[in-house]
Amino acid sequence: MNVNFFSWLRDGVRQSVLLGVSDAIETLGTPAEEDQLHPGVAALLRDGNQESSSEPKRVGGSSTRGRKRLGKSLKELDTATK
């Protein structure tokens, strides 16, 4: 049996989120048909649907330009010890 920690963790998080949404709907209830969405929420949902149909944006990108380095490189550590 091949147990992958990350798939187990991902499944656990997915289950927790779904149970949380289910509990929230139970607690809050569903909106009545005549209730109107707030215009800001409606605009966000409308814009979100348009963006999801296009290609997703990359957050990190492949360029290291503008990326903050954490710690020292091996060369810097080597020259510091000599």
Higher pLDDT, 18 or 36: 18
Which residue do the tokens 């187990």 mark? 8
pLDDT digits (tens, 9 = 90+) for 1-32: 567 899 999 999 999 999 998 888 888 777 66
Q: What is the pTM of this model?
A: 0.35
pLDDT tens-digit readout, 54-77:
555 555 555 556 777 788 888 888
